[in-house]
Amino acid sequence: MSDPRTRRLAERVAAQRVNPLTAALRSAWPFAIAIAIAFILQIAIAPAISDFKAKILLDIGIAIVLAGSLNIVNGFAGQFSIGHAGFMMVGGYASAIVTYYGSLKLLGAPAIADVPVLGGFLGSGDLLFLGACLIGGVMAAAAGLVVGLPSLRLRGDYLAIVTLGFGEILKVLIQQTPPVPSSADAMTAGPLTMVTHLGGSLSFTGQPTYVSPTPWVVNADGDQTGHAGIFFAYLVVGILLIFVYRLKSSHKGRMLLAVRENEIAAEAMGVDTSRAKVTAFVLAAFFAGIGGALFAHEVGAQLDTKSLGFQKSIDLVIMVVLGGMGSITGVVFSAALLTILPELLRSLGVDSYRMPLYALTLIVVMIVRPQGLFGIKELWDLGPWKRHVTPLWNKLTKGKQA
Amino acid sequence: MTALALEADQLSIAFGGLKAVSALSFAVPERGLHGLIGPNGAGKTTAFNLLTGVYAPDSGAVWLGNGASRTRLDGKKPSAIARCGLARTFQNIRLFGELDVLDNVRTACGVRASSGLLRTFLRTPRYVAEDRAMTERSLDLLDVLGIADRAHEQSKSLPYGDQRRLEIARALATEPKVLLLDEPVAGMNTQEKHEMRALIESLRERFDVAILLIEHDMGLVMEICEHITVLDHGVTIAAGAPSAIQSDPAVIEAYLGAPDDEAEVA
Amino acid sequence: MGTLVQTLVETIALGSLYALAALGYTLVYGVLRFINFAHSDVFTFGAWVSYALGALFGWVATAAVQAPVVPVFAMPFIMFAAMAICAVLGITIERLAYRPLRTAPRLNVLITAIGVSLLLQNTGQLPWAFGKDGQNVPALISNQASLGSIAGVEIRVVDLVIVVLAGLLMFGLERLVYGTKIGRAMRAVSFDERIASLMGINVDRVISITFGIGSALAAAGGVLLGLRYGNIKEPADSAWVLLGLKAFVAAVVGGIGNVRGAVAGGLLIAAVEQFGATYISSSMQNLFVFVVLILVLLVKPSGLFGTAVREKV
């Protein structure tokens, strides 16, 4: 073949020269920055602002995790799910079981919400919590696999109803369960009791608080008070954002977008659309499970079927739709906005108008700007950013090189 | 005898009581250029849908390749068939509208990539190499199709002719052995048709691909196809070289109506 | 035996109400091919209108008046008024929220419908609207009065009224869809909107009328439901949302877009719920409903009586 332009992918891959060191650095620096930001928020920002504001900061982080995860399935893959809170529920309960019984049985601590975290920052208590988050994510991902299967046969309205039905079924099942054993009884509780005594329609109780705005302070004696909740929440935010960004800009992410854009064409181009859809559900559920775990260990949070019901799912849908289905920065923006807005309305004394206002916003957005604020684009793809920020950025980076 | 790239053997499908395609058989040799023609509703697109797995045939078989690599396609999912090496374009254009032109092609390239989710998340050197190779190859494909300068435009905002070109670039990106083109020059003007014709002919050599073409433009079909199959009401009424087809009475009747129909009109 | 009869009575009465609400989903899906999520709220609204009118005319029991005198004409009056008001509401929703999206992707319409549903629910909950407390509905028919008993189970007048009225309305709808000019127009729009408009059918008008009819039927269902239980809860109470959802499930299970399927679906869902509650566990009745929904959708996504639609490639 004379035309070099027709060379196939395998030959081209073989011809690529990637310096492993540069690649490793490029791969790692966003994680380093994410950790640094989470750390700064925890030790510099949180103590400087009121507890009330720190709580909002925390809630924004959790909202970003949840809406960002819903964006994978609703935004990228275009599979409309209105039962996302169900995955939170799975993750939340699973993680609470781990930390409640884990604190009592493994760490030998009375699991009362306000005792200092065992072992200090990243000590045994924190590690148990991180492990619980991961287990919550994995359990939710398993649920995502189950809920993703109907998406192979159903689309649009029908799929939405099935996801809603999933949330309702889960709710009814949890409501049947007996109360969580007291910490004295918990010591002798067997595995079956642990996973079936979830508190029924009352909330799950006894899990320690890890996610609280109370600043984490270490005094001169090395004793720790408060929690590193903001650090953990924003660590998860960082990992989620890096994941979804890298997903969206990769061949894997484009497969999901192709399913959303035109399922028949995607299938004809070799995209296994069934697998893509189920993958999207599993990934979204995994991060929603972690978000649920953060929520379950947040101070003042009610881990029950009501606060993780249909209303919560709808709140998340509104965040994704308003921000722009498929836009990462758009969803981050709207998650922050819609977390602050209720507080603003409350301070104005009109918080009973929150839901009517959200509902009206949803309708107006669909009629006036159906693609949401950002559409499928990211902040840096939009006109104002390109006109003002990109040239500045170029000037700065060029200046560095010179 | 030349080696075969694609072989249809007695393909049939019925919707309800209607036989949409019955006992369709043909064979396209490697680097061959075959035409599938017939009046509206003759079952041409249905035939494409049978070949690409959108519909499962009631009976018959589809074979791709020859010798040791000969694979039976019918019964597989469309995505599996595409990965075996059969790619298509659509008569009613089906692009990934919100994505830009480059990403449309890169999506199709991606099905040949091997990096999994973990490599993607961690951006390992292998992923980076693959990602660069996909971009490079996609840009080159756009260049071959003459739309490289539109790489960053949203695909749904492309002019009609360029959308058809993009469909071909996207199909080529899956690295097919056989390319199915469904009315590639529909709605084009004479100049565009002329360019598309040259392009289609050049693809065979460049990409080592056999082509099966559905087209209403008889001039184009007769000029570039080596072999033509004519369908009418799902039935193959003629098959052979263009010159033979042109003078076949059954074909003339299918297109122009039976002689006594004309008599009635007159 | 008594338990079985009791469960059957509950099933038939409740099933008729689900069917009335399910018809609205089915009619709208027939002409516009989307699930009108806000329909369950129109159903709820029907019940609240009966309360509001009752309160206006002093027919509602309050702390001061335990059992107000309700005139005979109150029942038909409130029924018609609720149906008319909800018909107007349904037509308005279509005109303002759905018509601008007639050509938009279905996902956008779905999201809008959820938005309308939330708007109605939460506006209804505001203090100046119906508030957050449960209310008594006017006792148009005593929900205690009995016709006699079968196997020791009292057959209540209100249940008979529900079944007869629901039956009449469904029969009327059947006649309308298959026996009148507007019904033919509805079926034409349902078959192919573009061709219907080419044939000189005013598609916008047909769609408005469809919304009006569906909403009126839902209102009738809402009023009857209120009568049966004597009081109604806040508009956003999860019981209401679930009730609407069950009607929706009935429509889907019966095969959405299919009038008779909606009726069959309504009865089926009520049977699953009531028999499940009686013979398995009363606190898990919602679970049975959704399990049936998911099973039906997975086995036959177009519903029991629906026809599958294939996307053209």
**For B66-110, how does the pLDDT look when each residue is reduced to its tens digit (9 = 90+)?**
888 899 999 999 999 999 999 999 999 999 999 999 999 999 999
Are C177 and C259 spatial neighbours (Cβ–Cβ below 8 Å)? yes
Given this model, what pLDDT does residue A2 score? 64
Beta bridge partners of C154: C149
pLDDT range class, residue B230, cuts 50, 70, 90:
very high
Cβ neighbors of B95 (< 8 A, separation 6 or more) are A261, A262, A265, B104, B155, B156, B163, B166, B167, B170
**ipTM reported for the complex, 2 dp:** 0.91
Contacts of C109 in chain A (CB under 8 A): 366
- Residue B239's H or E segment, with its range, is strand B235-240
Cβ neighbors of C154 (< 8 A, separation 6 or more) are C146, C147, C148
Given this model, what pLDDT does residue A28 score? 94
Cβ neighbors of B252 (< 8 A, separation 6 or more) are none
Query: Model pTM?
Result: 0.90
Contacts of B54 in chain C (CB under 8 A): 313
Are B176 and B168 spatial neighbours (Cβ–Cβ below 8 Å)? no
Average pLDDT value for chain A: 87
pLDDT at residue B64 greater than cutoff 90? yes
pLDDT at residue A328 greater than cutoff 90? yes
Q: Name which of A289, A271, A256 is nearest A137 in CA terms.
A: A289
Cβ neighbors of A236 (< 8 A, separation 6 or more) are A61, A65, A133, A290, A291, A294
- How far apart CA C248 and CA C225 sit, in angstroms, is 16
Contacts of C252 in chain A (CB under 8 A): 158, 161
pLDDT at residue A96 greater than cutoff 70? yes
pLDDT at residue A119 greater than cutoff 90? no
- How far apart CA B175 and CA B86 sit, in angstroms, is 8
Decide the pairing of beta strands B178-182 and B86-88.
parallel
Most C CBs within 10 A among A74, A169, A316, hence the mutation to make, goes to A169
Q: Look at the block and give the residue holding tokens 């909740």.
A: A229
Residue C299 contacts B, CB cutoff 8 Å: no
pLDDT at residue B4 greater than cutoff 80? yes
C141/A280: higher pLDDT: A280
- How far apart CA B6 and CA B22 sit, in angstroms, is 18
Residue B49 contacts C, CB cutoff 8 Å: yes
Q: Which residue among A162, A321, A363 sits closest to C297, beta carbon to beta carbon?
A: A162
Interface contacts (A, B; CB < 8 Å)? 165
Burial readout B194-230 (b: 16 or more C-beta within 10 A, e: otherwise): eebbebbeebbeebbbbbbbbbebeebbbebbebbbb
pLDDT at residue A25 greater than cutoff 90? yes
Residue numbers of B between 176 and 235 with CB closer than 8 Å to A? 206-208
> Touching B: which chains, 3+ CB pairs < 8 A?
A, C
Give helix C285-299 / helix A156-175 axis angle, nearest 10°.
150
- How far apart CA A19 and CA A28 sit, in angstroms, is 14
Residue B78 contacts C, CB cutoff 8 Å: no
List of chain C residues with pLDDT < 70: 63, 66-67, 142-144, 231, 233-241, 306-313
Most C CBs within 10 A among A367, A369, A371, A376, hence the mutation to make, goes to A367
What is the percentage of chain B residues whose pLDDT exceeds 90?
Answer: 80
What is the percentage of chain A residues whose pLDDT exceeds 90?
Answer: 43
Given this model, what pLDDT does residue B74 score? 92
Other residues' Cβ atoms within 10 Å of the Cβ of residue A274: 17
A299/B210: higher pLDDT: B210
Angle at C129 between CA C125 and CA C130, to 5 degrees: 65
Contact A9 B112 (CB under 8 A): yes
Instruction: Return the sign of the alpha-carbon dihedral for residues A85, A86, A89, A91.
Output: negative
